[in-house]
């Protein structure tokens, strides 16, 4: 199971006040949420490969410290993937039975899409620490809980890995709960820093950014395209296939491609194998994570990962085809969204996302003054 990305919303100071992120985040509790008659969160089968990833190794590195924190406070503790599915949990004796009953266990899916308003889901959507107390939980079976959640984000790479959660019964609510869960998240972040080795980060939604072992790389457009093609072809690709994927029918020699590959290999030694060409390292890509979230039906995660068009300047036929298919699927999802707050977050980050603006115009009342501002974005 892939892990990844920084999801703190970017500055929107230059946008109309209607689109600023503080307005969208403030709406989280502006309306009383209806209860959900669910007994437990959905359970997913986990691909245990995640344990061998950087995130998995980092959790194992500090899991004993996390257990001690939860045990001392009579709490349940858990770490999710970027979609809100619990990868690792541990519960103190007072919380164990209750946690098992509501599926606060490995494989439990705690996004707002799955179980309504809750601390994990809120932290996923806002990428900031959250506390959800008792009746603020939408799922009836956890309305006697208080939960604290914090995002786990690599400060150096901006990679978002998942959510740290601490939960207990509401009678034990403590104003220091947020600090405690942030401390737990910091333990995992520190472990991530210690285990950074042979990790390639590719950010290609919006402004491209490439990092290898926490070091930024200055690459040409063509070199970034090569890495993205290889990331999309994990089984490998031969020279002729790579040439066509990159250039199509354009009259570019294979010598030029070999030169690009040689320069890339000098910048990131031992990362690109040949015969076939493929990446020989752990890769974390925002576009692959967004595609996975889309495949799983996790709309909120997909939209939070989306920071702009995939390699907007690329003319690679292979990458253009992937971009067009992804955009078509994303647009279909956007037109199905009924959550105005969610759409506002998309427009605040990517104002030129026409489908999100059009969907907002469909949902907002005719007499709202904000329609004029939205219409200006379509001009």
Q: How far is CA 28 from the centre of its chain?
A: 19
What CA–CA distance (Å, rounded) separates 229 from 322? 10
Tell me the chain's radius of gyration from C-alpha atoms.
Answer: 22
Structure confidence at residue 13 (pLDDT): 33
Residue 40: pLDDT over 90? yes
Q: Please choose, from the candidates 270, 273, 301, the residue with its C-alpha nearest in 3D space to the C-alpha of residue 288.
A: 301
**Residue 300 — very low, low, confident or very high, per pLDDT cuts 50/70/90?**
confident
Helices and strands, number each (H, E), in the chain:
15, 11
- pTM of this prediction? 0.78
Return the domain boundaries, the chain. Answer: 32-194, 199-284, 286-377
CA distance 193 to 191: 5
User: How confident is the model at residue 304, as a pLDDT?
Assistant: 87
Q: What is the pLDDT of residue 29?
A: 37
Mean pLDDT of all residues belonging to the chain: 88
Give residue 59's pLDDT.
96
pLDDT surpasses 90 at 68 = yes
Inform me whether the pLDDT recorded for 43 exceeds 90: yes
Strand-pairing partners, residue 163, are: 151
What pLDDT is attached to residue 49? 83
Residue 19's pLDDT band (cuts 50, 70, 90): very low
Is the pLDDT assigned to residue 5 strictly greater than 80? no
Q: Residue 16: its pLDDT value, please?
A: 32
Q: Is 206 helix (H, G, I), strand (E, B) or coil?
A: coil
Q: Domain 32-194, what architecture?
A: 2-Layer Sandwich (3.30)
Q: How do strand 199-203 and strand 282-285 relate by DSSP bridges? A: parallel
26 versus 269: which is more confidently predicted? 269
Please work out, in degrees rounded to the nearest 5, the angle formed at the alpha carbon of residue 22 by the alpha carbons of 19 and 25.
100
pLDDT band at 103 (very low <50, low <70, confident <90, very high): very high
Helix (H, G, I), strand (E, B), or coil: what is residue 362? helix
- CATH code at 199-284: 1.10.10.10
Which one has a higher pLDDT value, 7 or 214? 214
Residue 270: partners with Cβ closer than 8 Å, 6 or more residues away: 280
**What whole-number distance in Å separates Cα of residue 196 and Cα of residue 185?**
17
Alpha helix (H) residue ranges in 201-298: 221-232, 239-247, 254-267, 286-296
Q: What is the mean pLDDT of residues 34-42?
A: 78
pLDDT at position 35 is 55
Burial 260-273 (b: 16+ CB within 10 A, else e): bbeebeebbeebbe
Residues 171-220: tens digit of each pLDDT: 999 889 999 999 999 999 999 988 888 899 999 999 999 999 888 999 99
pLDDT tens-digit readout, 119-170: 999 999 889 999 999 999 999 899 999 999 999 998 888 889 999 999 999 9
* pLDDT score, position 36: 66
**Angle of the 54-72 helix axis to the 177-194 helix axis, nearest 10:** 150
> Percent of the chain having pLDDT more than 90?
74
């Amino acid at each position: 199971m892939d892990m990844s990305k920084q999801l703190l919303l970017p500055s929107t100071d230059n946008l109309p006040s209607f689109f600023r992120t503080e307005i969208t985040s403030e709406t989280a509790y502006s309306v009383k949420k209806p209860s959900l008659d669910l007994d437990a969160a959905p359970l997913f089968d986990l691909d245990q490969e995640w344990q061998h990833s950087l995130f998995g190794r980092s959790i194992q590195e500090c899991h004993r410290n996390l257990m001690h924190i939860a045990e001392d406070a009579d709490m349940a503790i858990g770490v999710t993937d970027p979609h809100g599915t619990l990868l690792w949990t541990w519960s103190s004796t007072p919380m164990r039975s209750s946690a098992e009953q509501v599926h606060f266990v490995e494989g439990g899916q705690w996004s707002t899409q799955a179980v309504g308003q809750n601390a994990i889901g809120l932290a996923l959507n806002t990428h900031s620490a959250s506390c959800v107390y008792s009746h603020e939980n939408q799922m009836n079976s956890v309305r006697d809980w208080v939960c604290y959640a914090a995002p786990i984000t690599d400060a150096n790479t901006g990679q978002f890995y998942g959510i740290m959660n601490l939960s207990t019964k509401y009678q034990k609510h403590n104003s220091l709960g947020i600090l405690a869960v942030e401390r737990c998240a910091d333990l995992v972040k520190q472990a991530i820093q210690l285990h950074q080795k042979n990790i390639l980060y590719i950010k290609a939604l919006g402004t491209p950014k490439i990092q290898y072992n926490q070091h930024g790389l200055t690459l040409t457009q063509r070199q970034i395209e090569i890495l993205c093609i290889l990331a999309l072809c994990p089984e490998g690709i031969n020279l002729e296939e790579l040439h066509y994927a990159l250039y199509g029918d354009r009259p570019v020699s294979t010598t030029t491609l070999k030169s690009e590959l040689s320069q890339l290999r000098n910048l990131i030694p031992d990362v690109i194998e040949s015969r076939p060409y493929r990446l020989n390292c752990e890769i974390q890509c925002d576009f692959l994570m967004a595609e996975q979230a889309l495949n799983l039906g996790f709309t909120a995660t997909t939209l939070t990962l989306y920071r702009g068009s995939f390699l907007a300047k690329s003319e690679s036929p292979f990458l253009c085809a992937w971009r067009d298919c992804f955009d078509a699927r994303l647009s279909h999802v956007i037109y199905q969204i009924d959550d105005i707050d969610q759409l506002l977050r998309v427009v605040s980050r990517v104002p030129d996302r026409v489908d999100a603006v059009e969907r907002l115009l469909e949902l907002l009342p005719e007499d709202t003054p904000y329609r004029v501002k939205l219409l200006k974005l379509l001009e």
